Amino acid sequence: MRRLFIFIAASLLAACSRDKPMDGATSTPPVATEAAPTDAAATPATSPLVFRVMREGGGGLDATINQIDPQGQASFYATVPGSGEAALGKPCESGQRFQAEPKVAAFLRGPTQVCAARVEFMLFSTQATLQFIKRGDDASASGDLLVAQSNYGIAADRLQFAEPGKAQRLRVLSTVAAGRALGVEHPVQGNGGAEQPTAEFKDRVRLFQKDNGIGESGELDGRTRDSIGRMQLRGSKVVVPPANEVPAAPALVVTPQAVTPAIEVRMNATQMLAIPASPQTAAMIHANKRR
C-alpha cells in the first residue's frame, strides 16, 4: 500500500513538471491569426471634419459648403462663417466631394475637393479676374498678342468652375491671340464662342513646347502661355528668355468689396483676328511663319 502511494505521488509530480515552464523559460505565445486585408482607399476618415475657406488677398470668407454627387448635383452640407473655418463633429466619408459657394458675388466658386480630415478652398476675387480680362482687352486693342493670350487664359482658368460658358469664350480668345503670335493662319475652327483649336494650332504649339522644354501636349496650358508671353524678337530670331529677365506685370489690386460688376466678355474671335498686330508683334509673327 505504501509503495502504491509513493508511485502515484511520483506520477503526479512528473506531470506537473511537464506543464510548468522551467526557470527563465517563457510559455509559448498563442499563435496569431492573420488579419483580413483592408482597402485603405475605401476606409473613411476618422478625424472630425474641418472646412477652411480662404479668399484671394488673404483672410477667411463666409461660404456655403455643398456636397457634389457623382452626377454633379449640389446639395447643402455645411456653413462656414466669416472666420473662414468650421469644424464638424463627424468625419466625412471616403469618396465625398465638396465645393465652396461664396455668399458674396465678390468671389468666385472654385473646384471641388475630396474628403479629408481638413478640406481647404481658395476662392479667387471677381474683381481681380475682371482686371485680367481688361488687360487682355487693352492688349488686344493695341495689337500686343503676347500679353492678350496670357491674361485671357488666366481669366479663363479662374472662371471655369463659376461661369464655364464665359471661361470657354475667354479660352477661345487666348487661343486666337497665341496662335496669331506663333504664326498660325487658322488657330480655331467653329463659331459662336465655342470655337476649338485647329490641328494646325496644336501642331505649332507642340513644336513650341519641344523647343522650350515643355511637355509636348499641344494644349495651351498655363506654362505654355507664360512662355509665349515672354517671346522676344532678337534680330530675325524669336527667343524665349528666362522669366527673371522679363519685367513682371503690375500687381493686381484685390479688395474685399461686397459688390462686383458682372463679368462680361465683349470681344469675339472674329474681332480679334481683324485687329492688326503691333509692329513688333507683326515682325515676330512673320519670323514664326518662316519656321
pLDDT, averaged per 10 consecutive residues of the chain (291 residues), comes to: 45 45 41 41 66 94 96 96 95 96 92 96 95 96 96 97 96 97 95 92 96 94 96 90 85 74 90 93 90 69
CA-CA distance, 236 to 49, in Å (whole number)? Answer: 59
Instruction: Give pLDDT, residue 24.
Output: 41
Q: Are 135 and 151 in contact (CB under 8 A)?
A: yes
Q: What are the distances in angstroms from CA 246 to CA 152, 153, 226?
A: 19, 19, 11
Among the residues of the chain, which ranges form H helices? 2-19, 126-141, 145-159, 164-181, 199-211, 222-229, 269-274, 279-289
Instruction: Give pLDDT, residue 47.
Output: 81
Instruction: Give pLDDT, residue 179.
Output: 97
Instruction: Give pLDDT, residue 256.
Output: 66
Instruction: Give pLDDT, residue 251.
Output: 83
Q: Are 161 and 179 in contact (CB under 8 A)?
A: no
In the chain, the domains with their CATH numbers are 48-123 (2.60.40.1120), 126-289 (no CATH)
CA-CA distance, 291 to 287, in Å (whole number)? Answer: 7
Q: What angle do CA 183, 214, 131 make, to 5 degrees?
A: 70
Instruction: Give pLDDT, residue 19.
Output: 47
Instruction: Give pLDDT, residue 260.
Output: 75
- DSSP-derived letter for residue 227 is H
Residue with cell 506520477: 11
Among 92, 119, 95, which Cα is nearest to 39's?
95
How crowded is residue 258: how many other Cβ atoms within 10 Å of its Cβ?
Answer: 8
- The b/e string for 131-162 (b: 16+ C-beta within 10 A; e otherwise) is bbbebbbebbeebbbbbbbbbbbbbbbbbbbb
CA-CA distance, 7 to 11, in Å (whole number)? Answer: 6
